[in-house]
Every structure is written in C-alpha cells, then in structure tokens.
Structure 1
Amino acid sequence: MKISCQRDTLTAAFSLAASIAPARSPKEILQNVKVTASGGKLTLAATDMEVGIRLEVTEGVEIEVEGTALLPVQRTGAILRESNDETLTIETDEGGIRVTGGRSKFKLPGGNPDEFPVVDGFDEDKYHVVPTRLFREMVRRTVFATDSESSRYALGGVLLELDANRVIAVGTDGRRLARMEGKGESQGGHETSGMSTIVPTRAIQLIERALNDKEETVDIAARPNDLLLRTSTAVIYSRLVEGRYPNWRQVFPTRENAIQLDMTIGPLFAALRQAAIVTDHESRGIDFTFANGTLKLEASTADIGESQVELPIAYDGEPITLTMDHRYVADFCKVLDSETAFIFEIESGNAPALLSTDDGYGYVIMPMARDR
C-alpha cells in the first residue's frame, strides 16, 4: 500500500476511529486502526469488540498502490498531531510502515491486517431515517441520566424505541429519568419490539461524537443483539446491553391535579448555582419551596453554612416544599439553552417533579427525604 493524503483530513478521521480503539487490551491487535486503500477511497476501521466504526475518506487522498495496513493508534496519532506537513505519504513493505513528510520520516512496525476483526458494514433493508440534529439532541439530553456503575446493568445505556414515525430515547439511573421523542421515518417496516434496544452509555456517546450536523439524516437499524448507524461517510456498530429496560412509562407521571409553572432555564440555573455553594458530596439536597409568588431555594450543611436564594414565579397556591439533589436539576439545565422555556410540574413534597419542554423533552426527578 502506498498513499498520499492531506494531514488535516487524515488526522480528523484517524482521531475519530482511534477514539473507539481500546487504550489497553489483552488483544494487542485492537490497539490499531485498520486502513484499506481501494477503489479511490481510504477506509479506516477500529473496534474494541463492543463498538466498531468504518470511516471512508475520499477527499485529499491519492492512492498510488492499493492495499491494507494496521496503524498503531498511539504512535500514528502522535505523528499526525505533531507533524507540520500539509501532506503525508504512508507506505507499507515487509519491514513495516513508513510515514514520510517533507522534512520528516518515521518507521513503525506493522501487524498482519488479516488478523484484525471484521467491522460490520450497513447492509440492512429495514431501518429508520432520523434527522441528525434531532438524534444528537436526543442522545445529549438522555445519556447523562444513565447509570453505568449500577449492578442493574440494563440502566447502563440509553433505550431506543422506534416505531413507524417516531423515535424515543430514554435514560435513567433509578433516581431520575430523561426522555425525549421526535419524528423518524421507518423504512421497510423497521421497528423495535419490547424494551431491549439498550445502547451502552459509552457507545452512544461515541456515536453522537461521530455525527456531523452537516449530515441531514442518519440511518439506524436495530437488530436483536446490536445496533447499526450509517451516515454518508461512516458506519458505526454497537452491541446492545443484555436484559430488559424497566417500564419507564410507569415512572413518567400523568397527573390531573398537578401544578404547572412556566419557567426559564437561565434564572433557575443561576439561582440553583448560588444555593448549591454550601452543599457538598454528602449533603446534596436543596429545598425548593413554592409559595407566595416565589420559589425559595434553601440549603444547609453543618460544616459549610447555609444559603437561601429566591426567584419570582407565577404561583400563589398552598406552599409546597420539594427536596431534590441539586446535581440532577443542574443536569437538566446544562443540556438546554439559557433562554429555553419549560414547565416545572409539581404535585406535593413526596411526589416526583416533572420538567418538560415543548419539543418532546421530559425529565423526572425523584424527591429526597427531608432531614430538617
């Protein structure tokens, strides 16, 4: 194999593929990116046996001799980052791999590409077409609520539900639950069944990172044990989490007598950050008291101090005090713009709070026991 390519273009593609290759593995071959030069394009493949990616690069690539090579992630990545050359030449021979620039030469050992695991392509005729921007937003607004450390392994991922014209993403750790839905178009009758299409947290974060908003849509195919996602230049594969997701619809409150308050992210987040100044790892609860046209946020920690911050709201009913982990409320605020309007729904001090926006996003927070 012998290719010449623009360094910036190759660096961007290689970095993305390398993010999936494991930093440590008993299978050393996985610490490489497999590069295939054929048909006028460069294909990069990487996997950790749980997640895999195939990337195609056509711009800025000149193929002189077709072939394949294994590029060590750490050394090759360092060469691409540190080089000042606009163009690099990569060539393989029996002695290994040579990377040559205008004023630099490197020689690296080369493994056998035939021993590298196969990374699945996208050959499905049943899949969903989903707007890229929507899918990225769905991941961003749910993945933070997953629980990757829990013994309840099914919570260590994002549940995807896909039917004829709708896509739902759900993340929960048992103490809060994030759900977002949007429109998607089924091709070939594709849909998921049951509560088993759970994409591991790390995998779906890598998938979100690999997507570019320049792509209008992405194709998503759910299979019994894995998920495939396709863009115009990449295919990403992920194993699914084993097990069944809890029935999240039972957690999501549907209440007739709940109080719904119109609020804006910016003012609430600012007040929350102030109230949280006196909290610590052991004392994370903040009392949210709704009364007399005011939301009062109060926190108290024995060794640190007390805080009280007030925010005007349109509520003049009976006082309601709800104690919540300030981190959970902050997570909701962080994934939305400061000017975003939302509904803060409460019922009592013992019932969960529901925060929702008008674009299909809902977030449930379970209350904490009050100790004062």
Structure 2
Amino acid sequence: MKITCSREPLTAAFSLAASIAPTRSPKEILQNVKITASGGKLTLTATDMEVGIRLDIEEGVEIEVEGTALLPVGRTNAILRESNDETLTLETDDSGVIVRGSRSKFRLPGNNPDEFPPVGAFEEDKYHVISTRLFRTMVKRTVFATDTENSRFALGGVLLELTGDEVIAVGTDGRRLARMEGKGESVGGHETTGTSTIVPTRAIQLMERALDEKQDTVDVAARASDLLLRTNNAVIHSRLVEGRYPNWRQVFPKRDDAVILDMTVGPLFAALRQAAIVTDHESRGIDFTFADGTLKLEANTKDIGESQIELPIAYDGDPITLTMDHRYVADFCKVLDAEASFQLEVESSAAPALLSTDDGYGYVIMPMARDR
C-alpha cells in the first residue's frame, strides 16, 4: 500500500476511529485502526468488539498502490497531531508502516491486517431516517440521565423507540428520567419492538460525535442485538444493552391538581448556582418553595453555611416545598439555551417534578427527603 493524504481530514477521521479502539485489551490487535486503500478512497475501521466504526475519506486522497495496514492508535495519533505538513504519505513494507512528511519520517511496526475483526457496512433495507439536528438533540438531552454504574444494566444506555413517524429517546438512572421525542421517517416498515433497543451510553455519544454537520439526515437501523447508524461517510454499529427497559411512561406524572409554572432557563439556573454554593457531595438537596409570587431556593449544610435565593414567579397559591438534588436541575438547564422557556409542574413535597418544553422534551425529577 502507498497513499498520499491530506493531513487534516485524516487526523479528524483517525481521531474518531481511535476513540473506539480500547486502550487496554487482551486482544492487542484491537489497539489499532485498520486502513484500507481501495476504489479511490481510504476506509478506516476500529472496534472494541462492542462498538465498531467504518469511516471513508475521499477528500485529498491519492492512492498509488492499493492495500491495507494497521496503525497503532497512540503513536499514530501523536504523529498526526504534531505534524505541520499539509499532506502525509503512508507506505507499507515487510516490516511495517512508514509515515512520511516533507521533513519527517516514522516507521511503525505492523501487525497482520487480515487478523483484524471485520466491521460491517450498512446494508439494511429497513431503517429510520432522522434529521441530524433531532438526533443530536435527542442524545444531548437524554444521555446525561443514564446510569453506567448501576447493576441494572438496562439503565446504562439510552432507549430508542422508533415507530412509523415517531422517534423517542429515553434516559434514566432511577432518580430522574429524560425523554425527547420528534418525527422521523420509517423506510421499509422499520420499527423497534418492546423496550429492548437500549444503546450503551458510550456508543450513542460516539454516534452523536460522528454526525456530519453538513448532512441533513442520518439513517438508523435497529436489529435484534445491535443498532447501526449511517452518515455520509461513516457507519457505526453497537451491541445493545441486554435486558428490558422499565416502563418509562408510568414515570411521567398525570395529575389534575398540579401547579404549572411558565419559567425561563437562565434566571432559574443562575439562582440555582447561587443556592448550591453551600452544598457539598453529602448534602445536595435544595428546598424549592413556591409561595406568594416567589420561588425561594434554600440550602443548609453543616460546617459550610446557608443560602437563600429568591426568584419572582407567577404563583400565589398555597405554599409548596419540594426538595430536589441541585445537580439534576442543573443538568436540565445545561442542555437548553438560557433564553429557552419551559413549564415546571409541581404538586406536593412527595410528588415528582416535571419539567417540559414545547419541542418534545420532558424531564422528571424524584423528590428528596427533607432534612429539616
């Protein structure tokens, strides 16, 4: 193999592929990225046997001799990052891979690329077409709520429900739950069944990272044990988390007597950050008291101090005090613009709070026991 390639697109593609390769593995060959020069393009593949990626590069690629090679992740990343050359030449010989710049030359040991596990292409005839912007939003607004440390592995990923023109993503750790829904297009009658299409947190974050901003839509195909995502120049597949997701629809409160308040993200987030100054890892609860046209945020932590922050609201009913983990409220604020409006629904100190937006986002926070 001998190719010349523009450094910048190669660096971007290699960095993404390398993020999937494991830093440690009983199979040392997985700590490489396989490159294949064929048909006028360069294809990079990487896998940790749970997640796999195929990336195609056509821009700035000149192939003199077709072939394959394995590039060790750590050293190759360093070469690409430190190089100032606009183009690099990659060539294989009997002892490994040679990387040349205008005034640099590196020789890296080479393993047999034929021993590298295959990473399949996207060959499905049934899938969903989802706008790139919606998919990104779905991931951003749900993935933070997953629980990768929980022994209930089903909570360690994002549930995707794809049926007809409806697409839903859900993330929960058992103490809060985030749900984002929107519209998509089913091709070939594609749909998910039950509650088993759970994409691991790390995998769905990699999928979001791989999205091409210039591409309007992405294709998503769910199979019995894995999920595939296709962009203009990449295919990512991930094994699904084993187990069944809890019935998340039962978590969303349906009540007639709740108080519904129209609020803006920025002012609430600012008040929350101030109130949280006197909290610590052990004492994370903040009292939210709704009364007399004011939302009062109060925290009290032994040996640290007390805080009391007030925010005007349009509510003059009976007082309601709800204690919530300030981190969970902050997570909601972080995934929305400061000027975004949302509705906050509360009922009592023992009932969960529901925060929702007009574009299909809902977020449930379970209350904490009050210390005082």
Once the two structures are superposed, what CA deviation does each residue of 1:72-124 show, in whole Å capped at 9, x if it has no partner?
10011100001111110000011111001100000000110100001121000
Q: How many residues align?
A: 372
Cα separation, 2, equivalents of 1:21 and 1:151: 25
Residue equivalent to 1:52: 52
Residue equivalent to 2:17: 17
Cα separation, 1, equivalents of 2:206 and 2:139: 10
Residue equivalent to 1:349: 349
Q: Secondary structure at the match of 2:342?
A: strand
Once the two structures are superposed, what CA deviation does each residue of 1:157-216 show, in whole Å capped at 9, x if it has no partner?
000000000100000000000000000100000000000000001111111111122110
Residue equivalent to 1:239: 239
Residue equivalent to 1:62: 62
Matches within 5 A, 1:94-105: 94-105=94-105
Cα separation, 2, equivalents of 1:158 and 1:322: 28
Residue equivalent to 1:271: 271
TM-score, normalised with respect to structure 1: 1.00
Shift of the alpha carbon at 1:307?
Answer: 0.1
Matches within 5 A, 1:351-370: 351-370=351-370
Once the two structures are superposed, what CA deviation does each residue of 1:31-50 show, in whole Å capped at 9, x if it has no partner?
00000000000000000000
Q: Secondary structure at the match of 1:159?
A: strand
Matches within 5 A, 1:177-216: 177-216=177-216
Q: Secondary structure at the match of 2:16?
A: helix
Residue equivalent to 2:131: 131
Residue equivalent to 1:293: 293
Cα separation, 2, equivalents of 1:147 and 1:87: 43
TM-score, normalised with respect to structure 2: 1.00
Residue equivalent to 2:79: 79
Report the AA paired with residue 217 of structure 2.
Answer: T
Q: Secondary structure at the match of 1:171?
A: strand
Once the two structures are superposed, what CA deviation does each residue of 1:140-173 show, in whole Å capped at 9, x if it has no partner?
0000000000011100000000000010000000
Residue equivalent to 1:314: 314
Residue equivalent to 1:258: 258
Cα separation, 1, equivalents of 2:305 and 2:103: 61
* Ranges in structure 2 where 5+ consecutive residues have no aligned partner: none
* Ranges in structure 1 where 5+ consecutive residues have no aligned partner: none
Residue equivalent to 1:176: 176
Contact kept, 8 Å, 2:295 with 2:310, in 1: the verdict is yes
Cα separation, 1, equivalents of 2:275 and 2:91: 59
Contact kept, 8 Å, 2:212 with 2:232, in 1: the verdict is no
Contact kept, 8 Å, 2:343 with 2:355, in 1: the verdict is yes
Shift of the alpha carbon at 1:371?
Answer: 1.3
Cα separation, 2, equivalents of 1:125 and 1:95: 42
Q: Secondary structure at the match of 1:274?
A: helix
Residue identity over aligned pairs, in percent, reads: 81
Q: Secondary structure at the match of 1:300?
A: strand
Residue equivalent to 1:106: 106
